[in-house]
Amino acid sequence: MQLFDTVVNRRNSNSVKWDGGELIKSIGFTERFDNDTLPLFIADMDFPVAEPIIQAMQKVIDNKIFGYSIIPDEYYQSIQNWFSRKYNWQIEKQQIVYSPGTVNAINTCVKAFSELGDGIIIQRPSYPPFATAIENNGRTIVDNHLVLDENNQYQFNFEELEIQAQDPKNKLLILCNPHNPSGRIFTKEELRRIAEIGERNNLIIISDEIHGDLIRKNAAFHPLASITNYDHLITLTAINKTFNVAGLHCSNTIIQNEELRKKYETVQGMQSPTPFAIAALIAAYNECDEWLGQLKEYLDGTFEWVDRFLSEQMPQVKYRIPEGTYVLWMDFSGYNLTPQEVHDRIYNKANVVLEDGKMFGKEYEDFQRICLPSPRSLVQEAFVRIAKEFN
Ligand SMILES: Cc1ncc(COP(=O)(O)O)c(C=O)c1O
């Protein structure tokens, strides 16, 4: 049995994923949520956190006082070393701004770098909080949607982006790389082209790279800032996904340009991480390489199993094994059912909660997104239950 095969009972732990039934029913994710539900809708792992993180947090508990914290040099050095070691990206200490979560950072960027009514470009299908951050702040969504090629791979629509970027009303592009929900990792060439379009049109680029550490074994990920000198660029990083500590809300926004950084800090206001987040980040970035390597191998194995299962048992489902992230984006249009019928079979009959494609853009109603960072036995049970309803 492997480390990640252990099933941890997360019910009654205030987990959105396992205890959030009433909440997610109220926002329309599902009609059914009970003790038999397999919830694979949220990007939150069911694996225990790496031991060095637990030990570092235990030391904080042993102190018995959890007061306001200053950020020690070691925190910044851990981030600098991580990105230098993994991605050959040299970050200066003053470029790092702590943010209490990546979605929070996106909202801060929207408020700091655009005005009411301005356009903000996203590339659908896209992680729903991008659209929410734009609309809730009274800005306008400009969709430079990705295009599926003949290999079922999403590609940028550069020509359309070029036109949208030229419109002076459009102030920001929110890029997601690795891309959620497709799992696509953009190449250096594609990223350079995006940066060039940004630079030529004075478009600020927000690069959400929160999934950058979670990639398949043969994939390579390049932080946008590591391959361009364009500095109207804000990079969103976090330990949240990589090390399964999303509840600690520990993100770091990297902003090279001083003027943009000052603006961001002013709008964000004073924020400091909890003592738990500080301890966790230092341990994660310095002592958890081996754990992460094992995790990636486990996820690769899960995707290999899912690939075999879908091709044998549900050949009508169209998908691509993602290059990065632990999400799988599945197109159910091959069944010739209505989106509501597909939803009903998965959510109500199989009792597996996923995320309907329409959340990522209204034209994706034939899609479902599943999150797979769970012990393989749970993933297998979910797929077996779903397949039964379609065969
Ligand atoms: C692309 C992307 N950005 C941000 C987040 C959320 O990040 P945080 O928990 O740091 O707010 C997620 C979570 O699924 C995500 O997929």
Q: Among 272, 288, 304, give the residue marking a domain's end.
A: 288
pLDDT by residue (tens digit) across 16-48?
999 999 999 999 999 999 999 999 999 999 999
- 257: CATH: 3.40.640.10
Q: How many residues does the chain have?
A: 391
Q: Which of 249, 265, 288 is the last residue of a domain?
A: 288
pLDDT tens readout for residues 256-304: 999 999 999 999 999 999 999 999 999 999 999 999 999 999 999 999 9
The residue with tokens 């209505």 is 338
- The band of 1, judged by pLDDT with boundaries at 50, 70 and 90, is low
Cβ 50 vs Cβ 382: under 8 Å: no
Are 66 and 107 within one domain? yes
Q: Among 391, 388, 378, which residue's Cα sits nearest to residue 37? A: 378
Contact in structure between 87 and 242 (CB atoms under 8 Å): no
pLDDT at position 217 over 90: yes
**Atom number in ligand 1 closest to CA 238:** 10
- Domain region containing 342: 3-49+290-390
CA dist., res. 277 & res. 72, Å (int): 12
Average pLDDT over residues 121-131: 98
CA-closest residue to ligand 1 atom 13 = 43
Q: Is the pLDDT of residue 174 over 90?
A: yes
Q: What DSSP string runs through 44-82? A: ---SPPPHHHHHHHHHHHHH---------HHHHHHHHHH
Ligand 1 geometric centre to CA of 175 (Å): 13
Contacts of 271 (CB under 8 A, 6+ apart): 98, 99, 100
- In degrees and rounded to multiples of 5, residue 356 shows phi and psi of -60, 140
Based on the fold, state whether residues 105 and 227 are members of the same structural domain. Answer: yes
Average pLDDT across the chain, whole number: 97
> Residue 103 C-alpha to ligand 1 middle, in angstroms?
6
Q: Which atom of ligand 1 lies at the shortest distance from residue 327's CA?
A: 16
Structurally, the chain folds into a number of domains equal to 2
Asked if 90 and 154 sit in the same domain, the reply is yes
Which of 275, 252, 247 minimizes the C-alpha distance to 68? 275
Distance 312 CA to ligand 1 centre (A): 32
Is there a cis peptide before residue 178, judged by omega within 30 degrees of 0? yes
Residues 315, 385: one domain? yes
From 245, 268, 288, the end of a domain falls on: 288
Contact 125, 327 (CB under 8 A): no
The residue whose CB lies within 8 Å of the most ligand 1 atoms, and thus the one to mutate among 15, 174, 210, 244, is 210
pLDDT at 2: 78
Q: How far is the CA of 391 from the centre of ligand 1 (A)?
A: 34
Q: Residues 104-119: what's their mean pLDDT? A: 98
Give the rounded percent of residues in the chain with a pLDDT score beyond 70: 100
Residues within 6 Å of ligand 1 by CB: 43, 101-103, 127, 176, 180, 208, 210, 238, 240, 246, 251
Give mean pLDDT, residues 200-213: 98
The answer to whether 65 and 268 have CB atoms below 8 angstroms apart is no
Q: What is the CATH number of the domain that holds 24?
A: 3.90.1150.10
Q: Are residues 313 and 259 part of one domain?
A: no
pLDDT score, position 338: 98
pLDDT digits (tens, 9 = 90+) for 332-381: 999 999 999 999 999 999 999 999 999 999 999 999 999 999 999 999 99
pLDDT surpasses 80 at 78? yes
Residue 3 pLDDT more than 90? no
- pLDDT above 80 for 168: yes
**Average pLDDT of the residues in 62-90:** 98
